[in-house]
Structure 1
Amino acid sequence: MPHRSGIDVYRKVDPEASLVLIGIRGSGKRSLGFVAATALKRRFITEDHYFKEVTGLSRHEYLKQYGSQEFQQRDIKVLKMMLDNHRSSCVIECGLGSLTRPIQEHLRWYCVTNPVVYIARDMDRIQSLLGLEDQSVKLLAEGDPLHRTCSNFEYYNVEDRSSLSAQLDEGTQDRRSVGYSFKLKEAKEDFTRFVRFVTGTDVGHSSYDSPFVLLETPPELRSYTYAIFVRSSDVTDNRVELSELESGGDAIELCVDRWGSEMAMTVSKQVSVLRRNTHAPIMLSIDSRSLGIASCDLYSTRGNNVYSEILEHGLRLAVEYLVIDLDQDHTLINATIRNRGMTKIIGQRIFEPSSGVTWDDEECLSAYLDAGGLGCQLVRILRVATEREDNAAVTKFTNKIDSLPGDHLPVIAFNIGTLGRTSQVFNSTLTSVSHSAIERHSRHETDPQITSRDAVQALFQSYVLDPLQFYILGGSVAYSLSPVMYNAAFRHCGMGHTYSIPETPTLAALDRLGRDPHFGGASIVQPWRVQVFQKLAAKSRHAEAIGAINTIMPLRGQSDGTMFPLQEQASRRHLAGPVLGWYGENTDWVGIMTCINRNLSPRNAISPSKTTGLVIGAGGMARAAVYAMLRLGCRKIFIYNRTLSRAESVAQHFNSWAASQVASTEVVYVLKSLQDYWPSDACPPCMVASCVPADPDRDEPPANFEMPTQWLGSPTGGVVLEFAYKPLDTPLLRQMRRFRSETGRQWVLVDGLDNVAEQAIAQFEILTGRKAPRRLMTLEALRNYAGEHGPFDEKTIGARLDSVQ
């Protein structure tokens, strides 16, 4: 069967269809397959294991016993059987068999119903990993591109920054150490998102269910969102400081402006690198002019082929958004939309001055309606501005769209060029913006003229958005790192807000401050997490499940007392007005879940029937830790607290919750004494969260807890989260370093500063609806932390920043 054209490459598959990974030796199929199976909660089948299961012999043994010809024939039969007998609910790794013509032909048919992912990787890295001679590498490299002809998706396996060292350093596995490393840590997060996207697993199965969470609402449904415009040539020529791109945009627009025989792999790598560094959706667009296929060439054989190749490649990479020119042949547009998988298609029309078309002309509205008729998910209409008055005309055009009857597609509409900057500021959806991390020697006239910071700052300066006051309230907040993190983030994003500690941080002060029309929200810490919980007009289901909050937001309404619905509240986060009540959220569990996910090794992948968690403490943070573990799929969690009754109260709360939510009558168990041995009917814990506060809370002791060694029986180690950070080097962390050194078990240690930053980042995004500048907020926390040994030195700060995702 010949390689199919882009017209009949199928990507809309059943969410339960088995995921197949193909690629040459050393590409990372097995490691990524394990990650995918864990993320999708599926059985993982490898070609080697299945061959032995069917034949009773390993591949090497079979080859030795029966010879090369018989082995190849049997191998092909077994591979086909493996694929055909496991079409759903599995992750399948294909080995060398994918280089044979019969299996490649079989895989082409398999793509009709299943996602088949080609795993690509840098050939130099493969040669280094496998210790191959140049000739062997050349043979592998020649066969590798054939995988693109028998797959419908592609993933470039970018190296983890931390795994570039050959082996895990057993002595430096806590994140405070300069030598900290964790193999597959970043790839695990990236590939998990990738496979959930291509399988459609996340559709309708959100972890959050809140209009205030960024992940919950796509950029096109939020107000004032931005796409950082990056040219493919800029990345190729090393003119982009990739680590700096993590903030300033809600998406990354990668504009392909070069194409040739090697560019498919180059773009694959660029998409992976941008995802790795930004964790933002990718929008792929095409600069036809730079490619030498201006509008007059689009219908030529060459122009059409180049354009369709790039579109097809974008769909293979499962980019979240793909921009297609509405001037293209409708056959190509229809085929692209039909086979888009989960990718959203943005129908685009650019009106040059030579066209003579103005925003008032019928052509603009026709372009919008045509895109909807073709089946696009969004429409982008751009016009090169020739005078400043063009900016007012855009507003009239978008108002006309808004007045159309019924539901209509999100529209991106603004003028491009220097004279169009005003319309770029006021466009509400995915405005293309520049970024200070991109060095451009010569700016194209159609490239973005402003950054997202410029746009947001202009919105505040023009009174479209209002400066608001944010606070932190609770006991012992004098040394909180939140004010420096938040205020740095506000300045970085161009927001006019402030974050402070009230002079009298009492509940009475909260009542007064929280009713101010310019109140933006507050962080709530102990001992008020439960008390304020009782004062809320509404709360997230997570706060409800935990029984405590750490975040409140104003619920605004009209002067007549009519409260806006929650979805509208989310879009009004930067607008002052009467406060009629508070909305409560808990981001502690998000920070904890992130820390566990990032640091739990693949060997300790969470299994509902086997994985065990341990939580020390019974306060608000302990409740969040229990909830985070439950959300991760753990169904057996032990809790220890010095005051037994409080531990029993937490266990009762979550067991009652679990009975209705996860079909389990008992998920939390109480350990009564530090002298007790670990229960014989439960695996030793591989997740430990110490939630003993640094300052005593009621009857809680300070953070001087040490683990009974009889509870540390996990042969594969695990992760220990310490949430106290005054002092940072707690007795528990010192004990665990000694234990790890003595036993050689791979325990990863996470200190309190990690969770402080992670929950603040999650909280910032809830409160503002803007992507948090993660590295900046973490940097501010590190620079302003004065621990028991004084401030961190620059080397330590740099090492810790390298681990920020």
Structure 2
Amino acid sequence: MEGVSRQGTFEGHKRTSLSARTNCAYSPDASILLVGIRGTGRSTLALVASTSLRFNLVDSEKIFHAKHGQTRTAYVAAHGSDEYRRQEVELLRSILTQHPKRAVIICGSGSVEGSGQELVRNFATSHPVIFILRDAGDISRYLGSCDEDFVSDLVHRSTPTFRTLSNLEFYNLSDSAIAMHGKDQAGQPSLLLKNVERDFLQLCSSAREHRPGVYTNKAQHSLSAVPLERRFFTYCLSLPIELALKFAEQTRGVDILVDAIELTIDIAPLCSANSLSHSIATQITRQYFVTRRSFQLPIIIHVISSMERGLQDLLAREIYLEVVAHALRLAPDYLTVDFHLDDADISQVRSARGHTRIIGHYLETSPSSNYWSSPQIWSLLQRMRRSQCDLIRLCQTATSRADNQGVREFIHSAKSSEKTDAPIIAYNTGRHGRQSCYLNQILTPVTHPLLRNPAQIGGDDRSWLLTIQESQSALYSSYTFEPQFFGILGADVLASLSPAMHNCAFESFQLPHKYSTLQCSSLKDLKTLVHDTRFGGASITSPFKQEIIPVLDHLSQSARAIGAVNTLIPLRSNGLDGLLARNETGPAVALYGDNTDWIGIYNCVRRHLSPVNAIRTNTTALVIGAGGMAHACVYSMIRLGIRAVFVCNRTEKRAQELACRFNGKTYSIDHNNVDNLIAGAAPDAPMCGPADVRVLPPTHSPWPTGFAPPTVIVSCVRSAAPDGPEDLDVPDEWLANQTGGVLIELSYDSLETKFIRKARTFSSRGWITVHGLQVLPEQGIAQFELFTGRRAPENVMRAQMTQRYTQLA
């Protein structure tokens, strides 16, 4: 592992089963216990988690002070360390007994000494116990009185104990520790904890819920959380874990376009060192969370075993299982399990996997002739099926290009024989196997130009891997796919920013598609578009967002709730497969409508809402306007978890109609429910609402009593007049929230509307203003993903939209 010593072992550690040290599937209501030394940020993380999950915050230090009237340090000085430890253990016993559900508990360092360790171990059998780590320099700066060398030594000595007591771990990265991907938030002090908040809530979600790849801080389109293995032509970047930090810094602000990251961990150096030391385990954790923060993508952990390289010995097997056990403590979305292992070892991994999805993996480096039709491959397939793998990945080193035909015949035979229900990933490795890679449909490994230098990746030649652009180009060059055309359909779209965004996204992927303006005065023109076998989809704008609904065969939940459609997709086959296979051309058999307007608003609120203003039961929102965008806005507020939403409009009647549409409604937030295209949401699927939508008169009335001032305000009044309507001016009292919030202006006509200017006068209170030009790309990004099935290049689309807007202005 780069920059990490290979010396050292687990102090006092005997190699044990995975289940003794890894996580399992916990009840969503199970309390969460945080352990670690002082200065790692446990209190902040506990506050973040308790607010988001709506759990009680139980701080053992505050309880100790309330009980004894002294701080811990003062109590030790007055009563001695032995009595202090006895009191700590009794306090811990009381807390764990009284708070088994719906609490985030901060455990004092002194309470996990002696008999306190047994209490924590017992608690960990049915609850998440998360070990919090942090850079020694950050801890030293927080404590102030300890130098970095002392802290490093303390971390080194305490880590073995905390690691054996816990079943999960989290690395609390400071923003200064990593060159951040995307926008720098340093200029907005209230947002400094956003990255930590997102990272930690993702871990809590992964440990508590079976939702691989679903990110808690971002709303996406109706298909965004269909598992990667159910989509067609998905890609994972193969990234050696020791290069994670360097690669993140090199790609700062640049989208890498893949669907997932496959972090590879080669155990060969660990076998040479004869152990997995705690220092290397900590480095693995740190690099994992660097990757999580930098790319915000599902992560596959692939441990490269020496068995895969033909070195089958007891030490290699034990170290492999130790690395796998440690990987499961990070709650990755996917983990590969090498089927060179025996069934007992594989069963052990499955019992400790928690909600991580298992990819049964086998690489044959010395294949026999006709390997893909041999009894060996079918026997292996059945063994993976018996082991209940979530996915199956079979690979062999290609000896000739003829092996690629063998893969295709094997996949066809496996699907037609129905010998397994698990999705199958199958391809040949090496330069001769590249054709089988770009034709593989599920989580195809790809590389990046920065990772193609053998000297940079330790001499391991990965040059045979294609980039995602090369893979996409090969699919169209081989006529597997054909070019499509898209456009924005409306009565006044000639100045639209959408073509600039979408065409640059196509170019970034090297996709041969075109996106243009489709100006028309009637929906009669839609029939001509739909009958064109190359038509891939359209953005729908005024005046057709409601008018188009009767001609559609399927509607997403969001489009149905809002009562408007802004995204049209032709389906070439019925059911979910038709919606997933959006790259196919041919006659359309059905039309699907979705709405991404709400996504732009939702994501901008989540991106700019500071942790101190995290949405609680008493959070309120204000929507100004009652038109189509206001409908999408109210829906986004409900989906955010804000139950009290106020609407203010010049015409009260329209505001009342808007309120009636949403008031009292609940909506499923089960992303896997694509309405009538697949089975409905499970009975226990999470819900948002019921909504309490009220109307405010269009006058300078006081804010309603009994409700907290709003922390989210959105102006949906689009007007060419820079000052906007006078009667919808926001009174100062409505901006009285002491910790500020987010104000969004959806008018694209001017960068300096009256609403924006007034909001900026309250920036000192923590109010953050967001212009519609930040919302628009979020909508377009979701549309691009709906059109193509590809993850949109956000930085490219934002840059092109800004450039085009500047030209028009």
TM-score tier (shorter): 0.7 to 0.9
SS at match of 2:449: coil
Instruction: Report 1:581-730 matches (<5 A).
Output: 581-608=590-617, 610-655=618-663, 657-658=665-666, 667-695=692-720, 706-730=729-753
Going from structure 1 to structure 2, the CA distance change for 1:63 and 1:353 (only over 3 Å counts) comes to: closer
User: Contact (CA 8 Å) 1:600, 1:718: kept in 2 or not?
Assistant: yes
SS at match of 1:553: strand
Instruction: Report 1:514-533 matches (<5 A).
Output: 514-533=530-549
Going from structure 1 to structure 2, the CA distance change for 1:761 and 1:373 (only over 3 Å counts) comes to: same
Q: Deviations over 1:530-588 (max 9, x none)?
A: 2223432221111111112221111334xxxxxx11x1112221112222442111111
Going from structure 1 to structure 2, the CA distance change for 1:493 and 1:371 (only over 3 Å counts) comes to: same
Distance in 2 of aligned mates of 1:659 and 1:597: 19
Asked if 1:81 is matched to 2:81, the reply is: no
Letter in 1 for 2:417: L
User: Contact (CA 8 Å) 1:242, 1:277: kept in 2 or not?
Assistant: no
Going from structure 1 to structure 2, the CA distance change for 1:659 and 1:160 (only over 3 Å counts) comes to: closer
User: Contact (CA 8 Å) 1:26, 1:129: kept in 2 or not?
Assistant: yes
Letter in 2 for 1:137: V
- Decide which of 284, 298, 315 is 2:312's aligned counterpart: 298
Instruction: Report 1:393-432 matches (<5 A).
Output: 393-405=406-418, 407-432=420-445
TM-score (norm 2): 0.87
Distance in 1 of aligned mates of 2:177 and 2:361: 40
Distance in 1 of aligned mates of 2:249 and 2:150: 34
| 1:309 aligned partner | 322
| 1:271 aligned partner | 288
Q: Deviations over 1:372-414 (max 9, x none)?
A: 2123221111111111111101111111111223652111111
User: Contact (CA 8 Å) 1:515, 1:579: kept in 2 or not?
Assistant: yes
Letter in 2 for 1:734: R
| 1:218 aligned partner | 227
Q: Deviations over 1:326-348 (max 9, x none)?
A: 11233322111111101111111
Structure 1 position 151, deviation (Å): 0.7
Structure 1 position 211, deviation (Å): 12
Distance in 1 of aligned mates of 2:521 and 2:800: 23
Distance in 1 of aligned mates of 2:507 and 2:775: 23
Going from structure 1 to structure 2, the CA distance change for 1:70 and 1:665 (only over 3 Å counts) comes to: closer
- Decide which of 3, 6, 29 is 2:18's aligned counterpart: 6
Going from structure 1 to structure 2, the CA distance change for 1:211 and 1:57 (only over 3 Å counts) comes to: closer
SS at match of 2:761: helix
Instruction: Report 1:232-381 matches (<5 A).
Output: 232-235=241-244, 241-243=250-252, 246-257=255-266, 258-259=269-270, 261=277, 262-289=279-306, 295-300=309-314, 302-353=315-366, 358-381=371-394
User: Contact (CA 8 Å) 1:198, 1:342: kept in 2 or not?
Assistant: yes
| 2:762 aligned partner | 739
Asked if 1:554 is matched to 2:564, the reply is: no
Distance in 2 of aligned mates of 1:272 and 1:614: 36
SS at match of 1:523: strand
User: Contact (CA 8 Å) 2:178, 2:249: kept in 1 or not?
Assistant: no
Letter in 2 for 1:146: T
Going from structure 1 to structure 2, the CA distance change for 1:388 and 1:379 (only over 3 Å counts) comes to: same
Distance in 1 of aligned mates of 2:533 and 2:549: 21
Letter in 1 for 2:493: V
| 1:485 aligned partner | 501
Distance in 2 of aligned mates of 1:286 and 1:272: 17
Letter in 1 for 2:742: V
Instruction: Report 1:498-517 matches (<5 A).
Output: 498-504=514-520, 506-517=522-533
Q: Deviations over 1:142-174 (max 9, x none)?
A: 223421111111111222369999xxxxxxxxx
Instruction: Report 1:386-397 matches (<5 A).
Output: 386-397=399-410
User: Contact (CA 8 Å) 2:335, 2:356: kept in 1 or not?
Assistant: yes
Going from structure 1 to structure 2, the CA distance change for 1:122 and 1:632 (only over 3 Å counts) comes to: same
Structure 1 position 67, deviation (Å): 4.5
Going from structure 1 to structure 2, the CA distance change for 1:703 and 1:490 (only over 3 Å counts) comes to: farther
Asked if 1:538 is matched to 2:563, the reply is: no
Asked if 1:227 is matched to 2:226, the reply is: no
User: Contact (CA 8 Å) 1:570, 1:769: kept in 2 or not?
Assistant: no
Letter in 2 for 1:487: N
SS at match of 1:408: coil
| 1:793 aligned partner | none
Distance in 2 of aligned mates of 1:188 and 1:503: 44
Distance in 1 of aligned mates of 2:174 and 2:104: 22
**C-alpha RMSD over aligned residues:** 3.2
Structure 1 position 217, deviation (Å): 1.1
Structure 1 position 235, deviation (Å): 3.1
- Decide which of 195, 200, 222 is 1:191's aligned counterpart: 200
TM-score (norm 1): 0.88
**Greater alpha carbon shift after TM alignment, 364-373 vs 255-264:** 255-264
Letter in 2 for 1:527: P
| 2:674 aligned partner | none
User: Contact (CA 8 Å) 1:654, 1:668: kept in 2 or not?
Assistant: yes
Letter in 2 for 1:270: Q
Asked if 1:94 is matched to 2:107, the reply is: yes
Letter in 1 for 2:652: L
SS at match of 2:592: strand
| 1:771 aligned partner | 791
Asked if 1:156 is matched to 2:194, the reply is: no
Going from structure 1 to structure 2, the CA distance change for 1:176 and 1:389 (only over 3 Å counts) comes to: closer
SS at match of 1:379: strand
| 1:105 aligned partner | 118
Letter in 1 for 2:134: R
Q: Deviations over 1:455-488 (max 9, x none)?
A: 1221122222222111112354333222111111
Structure 1 position 669, deviation (Å): 0.8
Structure 1 position 206, deviation (Å): 11
Distance in 1 of aligned mates of 2:322 and 2:184: 46
Structure 1 position 200, deviation (Å): 1.4
Distance in 2 of aligned mates of 1:233 and 1:658: 46
| 1:26 aligned partner | 39
Letter in 1 for 2:625: G
Distance in 2 of aligned mates of 1:322 and 1:24: 29
Going from structure 1 to structure 2, the CA distance change for 1:252 and 1:665 (only over 3 Å counts) comes to: closer
User: Contact (CA 8 Å) 1:416, 1:446: kept in 2 or not?
Assistant: no
Distance in 2 of aligned mates of 1:685 and 1:579: 46
Structure 1 position 311, deviation (Å): 0.5
User: Contact (CA 8 Å) 1:703, 1:724: kept in 2 or not?
Assistant: no
| 1:800 aligned partner | none
SS at match of 1:707: coil
Distance in 2 of aligned mates of 1:163 and 1:339: 31
Distance in 1 of aligned mates of 2:305 and 2:210: 34
- Decide which of 94, 117, 120 is 2:130's aligned counterpart: 117
User: Contact (CA 8 Å) 1:704, 1:731: kept in 2 or not?
Assistant: no
Structure 1 position 194, deviation (Å): 1.7
Structure 1 position 318, deviation (Å): 0.8
SS at match of 2:395: strand
| 2:801 aligned partner | 781
User: Contact (CA 8 Å) 1:684, 1:711: kept in 2 or not?
Assistant: yes
Q: Deviations over 1:274-315 (max 9, x none)?
A: 1112211111112335xxx66553332x21222112111110
Identity %: 34
Letter in 1 for 2:371: T
